[in-house]
Amino acid sequence: MAFKIIETASALPANIVTNDDLTAIMETSNEWIESRTGILERRISETENTSDLCLRVAQTLLDKSGIAVSQIKAIIVATMTPDYYTPSTAAIVQGRLGADQAFAFDISAACSGFTYALSAARGYVQTPDDYVLVIGGEVISKMLDWSDRSTAVLFGDGAAGVLLQGTTADQESWVSEKLITIGTESDQLVSGYAPVKRPNFGQVGQTQVGIDFFKMTGKAIYQFSTRRVPKAIEAAVLEAGLTLDQIDHFLVHQANSRLITKMASMLDQPLTKFPMNLQHYGNTSAASIPLLLAEQVETNQIKRGDLCVLCGFGGGLTIGIQIIRY
């Protein structure tokens, strides 16, 4: 079950919404948002849904790699903003891509989703003929209450992913992983709650499904992110038989620049090891880590052989850590 990452790709909506743009619809300012989050702008989809963005990523991965669509064994999409309850977003991508030899499914682990999806993908890359698409994609804007500046200013839409190929142990990308779920605190970050509001037996032409906006307890999430996540990263690195100093890049979920800066300090690592692009894209949840990875690879900041920690954290509550050698 060894894999190597052979390609990375991303897809973003064309529509850029700046902090100043948000002042037209809510009481906020560029200074208020930037000073608290580091975010300057984000991409907001006007017409594309999550499957549309993920399809663009899948097509780019195939185009860049030269791999035929018939060679794809599996498609895994990490998302908390699917097009539908069912079918899965991955199934929609599989159908539109024409990947009729591939099975497909979604993973819902919020901002840790991509790291959880990589964990699942390891089980499907057993030979050099096995190719798996792993994509994180979100259109979070459709789940936001745009009158709530405590959440609406934080998020953006986008998708990104990787193409994995099975390989031998001496060439593989995967080094180690650590996945954590804290379900006792699941109510701290929720999205899309569909309550049973009334019995609908015999209620012809009616539905009882009502979707709630994204909500989170900001202070609790910040404390979780700054207290538990650095400890989890340190434990994962030590369990892999490595030291923090040996890690070339920490690609952590792009939630908040202050949070990432504090995380670097707590791990006693230089901030230069913690690349950020949230200033341009905001928090893109499951797309956050692969979007950063694709950008760092594209700009040659991450090179073959570099040792990277990929760390997602968020709803569940969840922490997902993958240690890879790119």
Angle of helix 89-97 versus helix 50-65 axis, rounded to 10: 50
* Residue 311 is a catalytic residue: no
Separation of alpha carbons 283 and 271, rounded Å: 19
Choose the final residue of a domain: 171, 196, 218.
171
Same structural domain, 139 and 250: no
Q: Is residue 137 scored above 80 in pLDDT?
A: yes
Q: What is the pLDDT of residues 69-101, one digit of tens each?
A: 999 999 999 999 999 999 999 999 999 999 999
19, 49, 54, 111: the active-site residue: 111
User: Which of residues 141, 171, 201 is at a domain's end?
Assistant: 171
Pick the range with the lowest mean pLDDT from 55-64, 77-86, 193-202, 234-243. 193-202
Judge whether 253 counts as a catalytic residue. Answer: yes
**Judgement on whether residues 167 and 178 belong to the same structural domain of the protein:** no
Provide the pLDDT for residue 202: 56
Q: How far is CA 216 from the centre of its chain?
A: 17
CA 305, 311, 316: angle at the middle one, nearest 5? 155
Domain check: are 163 and 180 in the same one?
Answer: no
Do 134 and 13 share a domain, yes or no? yes
CATH number for the domain that contains residue 13: 3.40.47.10
Chain-centre distance for alpha carbon 138? 8
Q: What is the pLDDT of residue 213?
A: 83
What one-character DSSP code corresponds to residue 317? T
**Whether residue 130 is found in the same domain as residue 184:** no
Residue 204 has pLDDT above 80, yes or no: no
d(CA 23, CA 29): 6
Please check whether residues 216 and 166 belong to one and the same domain: no
- Per-residue pLDDT band for 205 (boundaries 50, 70, 90) equals low
Nearest C-alpha neighbor of 315 from the set 249, 230, 224, 208:
224
The secondary structure of 55-96 as a DSSP string is: HHHHHHHHHHHT--GGGEEEEEEE-SS-S-SSS-HHHHHHHH
pLDDT, mean of residues 196-215: 64
Least confident span in 103-107, 185-189, 210-214, 256-260: 210-214
Query: What is the pTM (predicted TM-score) of this model?
Result: 0.94
Query: How confident is the model over 158-173, as pLDDT tens digits?
Result: 999 999 999 887 777 8
Nearest to 100 by CA among 89, 91, 108: 91
Number of structural domains in the chain: 2
Does 82 share its domain with 138? yes
The active-site residue out of 19, 249, 253, 256 is: 253
Last residue of a domain, one of 120, 147, 171: 171
Please report which confidence band the pLDDT of residue 190 belongs to, taking 50, 70 and 90 as the band edges. Answer: confident
142 lies in the same domain as 271? no
Alpha helices of 132-216 — where are they, by DSSP H?
149-152
Q: Examine the domain organization and report whether 150 and 180 are in the same domain.
A: no
For residues 140, 143, 149, 151, the Cα torsion angle rounded to the nearest 10 degrees is -60
Instruction: Say if residue 45 is in the same domain as residue 104.
Output: yes
For 325, the 3-state DSSP assignment is strand
Q: How confident is the model at residue 226 (pLDDT cuts 50, 70, 90)?
A: confident
**pLDDT for the residue 199:** 60
State phi, psi for 322 to the nearest 5 degrees. -120, 130
Q: Are residues 111 and 223 in the same domain?
A: no
280 is catalytic: no
Residue-level pLDDT at 217: 84
In the predicted model, what is the mean pLDDT of residues 201-215?
64
Tell whether 150 and 10 lie within a shared domain: yes
Say whether pLDDT at 203 is over 70: no
The domain of 214 spans 174-325
User: What per-residue confidence (pLDDT) applies to 53?
Assistant: 98
Catalytic residue among 49, 249, 283, 308: 283
